[in-house]
Amino acid sequence: MTDASLTGSTPSAGPQPQIKWGRVRQSRRVQDKILRVTATGATALSVFVLFWILGMLLWKGGQGISLDLFTKITPGPGTAGGGLLNAIVGSIVLTFLGIAIATPIGVMAGTYLAEYGRGSKLAEVVRFINDILLSAPSILIGLFVYVILVMPFRGYSGWAGSVALAIIALPVIVRTTEDMLRLVPNGLREAAAALGAPTSVVIRQVCWRAAKAGIVTGILLALARIAGETAPLLFTALNNSFWFNWNLTGGISNLPVTIYAFASAPYDNWQQLAWAGALLITGAILFLSIAARALINRK
């Protein structure tokens, strides 16, 4: 009898194949290093392009920053000097009028999605349409407003431009308001309801107050979103070279369209004003973005 039969064990089938974990680890390290180098290179390239654009903007736009830029209106063809005062005022009016139209509608729609329509079919449809509108091309929105507000009234107007900007800002405010209200703990709603407060009072006194910073942040982000829009204003408000007279019927002078027109003109002072105007818009968007971040961090 053999030793195996005495011990009751089965004979070994020979040496088992060993997995070469060392090679597997080495291959994973190589793949990880390749992916890390690729991701780092792509990041460095994007940052380089960004700073290249910003550097060119600061260099060329900074040369056109002067007191005349803020005190004189846009010059005529072949006219020396001039500024962007009328375009700046027109852009401020159009932008804030667009936000004034979009804010109440967006906040109320976001409140419905977060408070009244949770899980309902209508809320799902509204949310889906809002997501589509969030990514819709701005030129398409401008063409839509042109059909419904410019063609029937046979003329461009500041009202049409404000409505176009409001449509662009609306989905941003709706999405932000809904997300911020969803972050409010349900315990706050239940505590207010236990005191006998109706749903409308709970929303106004509890939910809106708790989500106030986030909602304001969304409004600021929407304001930054529409501050530099050009395509919708080309179809709606167009432009002019005169002082803003607070009459929103007819073409309204604004920075984005002025920059577009001046940048493609053969006059040196127009091109210089276009660079300066682009720097102003970039600075305004940067300021609004920083303000929104500061509100989020403080909250």
pLDDT 10s digits, 232-262:
999 999 888 888 777 788 888 899 999 999 9
The residue among 225 and 8 whose pLDDT is bigger is 225
CA-only gyration radius of the chain, Å: 30
Q: Is pLDDT above 90 for 105?
A: yes
**For the residues 146-161, what does the mean pLDDT come to?**
91
Beta-ladder partners of 223 = none
**Banded pLDDT at 213 (limits 50, 70, 90):** confident
Closest CA to 163 of 112, 246, 105: 105
Tell me the CATH number of domain 82-298, given options 3.40.50.720, 1.10.3720.10, 3.40.50.300, 3.20.20.140. Answer: 1.10.3720.10
CA gap 254, 276 in Å, rounded:
14
Closest CA to 91 of 236, 244, 206, 220: 244
- What phi, psi does 157 have (nearest 5°)? -160, 155
Closest CA to 95 of 212, 214, 237, 215: 237
* Secondary structure of residue 202 in the 3-state scheme: helix
Contact 263, 202 (CB under 8 A): no
Exposure b/e, 201-221, CB count within 10 A at least 16 = b: ebbeebbbebbebbbbbbbbb
**Banded pLDDT at 36 (limits 50, 70, 90):** very high
Q: What angle do CA 17, 22, 28 make, to 5 degrees?
A: 120
- The gap from C-alpha 228 to its chain's centroid, in whole angstroms, comes to 11
Rounded (10°) angle between helices 212-226 and 85-111: 140
What is the pTM (predicted TM-score) of this model?
0.83
Torsion of CA 231, 234, 236, 242, to 10 degrees: 140
**Banded pLDDT at 20 (limits 50, 70, 90):** low
